[in-house]
Chains A and B, each alone.
Chain A
Amino acid sequence: MKNPLWSNIFKKKKPTDSHVQLTLKQVPVFDGLSTRNLTAIEDIVHERHFVKDEIIFKESTPGLGMYIILKGNVSITGVTSDNKSVEYAKLGQGDFFGEVSLIDESDRSATAIAGSDCHLMAFFKVELMDILTHSPKLGNKILLNLARVISTRLKTTNLALQKKSEIKD
């Protein structure tokens, strides 16, 4: 991470393909972004390390944005109506979660727990809004990608529900 106290602000930054950028390229939300754009994203995202079983975020807390897994795996869990804990998904390197919070004001719909020691990257709504203000072209690209991701997930959910109802019938 660039240290604002010691780095030279006037020095020209050279875009390079770091580990973070290589992972960002795999994330559909950042699909089609140039290396320069990805460098800008890398500058604003927050990198966090979680130990195994540590809670990343809890269900019903305010959602700030999405997380991208750089290393390790994450369990997305929830509680059913009969108070049983259930694992909705297990995500690995390059996967992302919590993206709905980038556009939605509502609380987190599930709990995310580190399945192993993991290295995550957090991209939050405030940063997205900042990009939309300062660099609308880049912001619109991200928003369009985000809409694609959410619509794909909606289609997949619809298909799964359809299959379930067909099996019931």
Chain B
Amino acid sequence: MKRTGLVVVVVQNLVWVLPLGFVIYLWEYTASMLFMLIISLLLASVIRPLVSLLEMVIAKRLISTIAVYAGLFLLVGYGLNKLWPIVYDEAVSIQTYFNMETFTELREKSEDLAIGFLPESMHDQTRDVFKGFDTRLNDIWGVVVTNIQSSLSHAGSLAMSVGSILISTLFIIVFSFFFVLEGHLYRKSFVAMIPNAYFEMTLHIMDKATASLGAYIRGQLLAASAIGILSITGLFILQAITPIQIPYTVLIGTVAGVGNLIPFVGPVMGMIPAIIVYLVTEQPDSVQFLHIVFIILTFASVQVLDNLFISPMIMSGSIGLHPMVIIIAVTIGGSIAGPVGMLFSVPILSMVIVIVTELRWGLRRYGHM
């Protein structure tokens, strides 16, 4: 590169190198804002197709964007108004529900079930196992409570250091609005700073990665909603046709839907709470092993429906992660940001993989690698 060319490149890149340096230097203060910007970008990628669809009819970007946001506000507002009180009441109620007594009851009913299911020769051993478990229950309960509290405080400090949830949400909505409205101008301004040798490659990678990420996020959201709705419906049907009583159905279904973000672990995340709630709830009939099989079958049916119809239809972009990689990602996510980190570790890892794959493809195809 010629000396003048090098000077031009350095001067051109100061525009982003200086702000980046500033962001890294003041990381303590800028991290939460950066986090919100990333969330806004992801939200914008979900909303943008809706705006484009409306723009085909209205032909005005600003009006289409305002209309879509207004529509989403109404929809989310209505949904929260109807669904939130139910989920909130169930969440508050379940907190008071799970205490030492409920755990002791769970242990007793599990012991009865195991004894009823296992041959007589194993009854004494089973009782010993549960007796040992009983003595450790106090310690386990203490560890569980401490872990949940520390996890929640971790997650809270990361996402909400700027202020309350409301202010962060407002920031995210405003940022995403401008990303949707003027995304092409931001893209143009960013690309203007790229040196000529990487100009076409950068544009190509950006467009491919944006399309893949948008499809992945939309797919994940749709799949999670579908799993949630199917799980709630399945549990309601199960309670209607059998004597099984499972309170907190909406909460359990929501957990199953959100848990679906983690492959392999997701399906179990709805099933285990449902079984525990079944065991600790006063049932019209006695607790039976067959009922647990029914609950497992309900969640298995949801998974079968998901694998056969929902996922292929949505093409939620399963990128074939190795189970070991998933376990490592979930563990690291958990230690960084608690349950929130565990939940979002796989989607974030998938996004990083999409970006790296497109970057490698671009560098190879344009002869830079």
* Chain A residues within CB distance 8 Å of chain B: 1-5, 9-10, 43-44, 46-48, 50-51, 54-58, 61-62, 64, 122, 124, 126, 130, 133-136
Contacts and interface: CB of A to CB of B under 8 A. Distances in A.
Contacts of A134: 52, 55-56, 59, 61
Main secondary structure of the interface of A (DSSP, over half): mixed
Interface residues of B, number: 28
Interface stretch (B68-76, B184-192, B287-295): B184-192
Contact of A64 (B2, B56, B185, B204): B204
A44 B367 contact: no
Interface string B47-85: 000001001100101100000000000000000000000
Given A3-B189, A64-B200, A64-B204, 5 more contacts: A1-B192, A43-B185, A44-B184, A48-B199, A54-B196
A57 B186 contact: no
Contacts of A51: 2, 4-5
Nearest to B61: A134
Contacts, number: 62
Contacts of B191: 46
A92 to B, nearest CB: 20
A54 B192 CA distance: 17
Nearest to B211: A126
B9 to A, nearest CB: 11
A63 B219 CA distance: 29
B55 A61 contact: no
Contacts of B29: none
Contacts of A50: 196
Contacts of A43: 185
Interface in B156-207: 181-182, 184-186, 188-189, 191-192, 196-197, 199-200, 203-204, 207
Contacts of B5: 51, 54
Contacts of A10: 62
A57 B200 contact: yes
A133 B48 CA distance: 12
A133 B55 contact: yes
Going nearest first, the 6 A-B pairs with the smallest beta carbon separation are A4-B185, A4-B182, A134-B55, A64-B200, A126-B207, A61-B366
B204 A62 contact: yes
A64 B362 CA distance: 12
B191 to A, nearest CB: 6
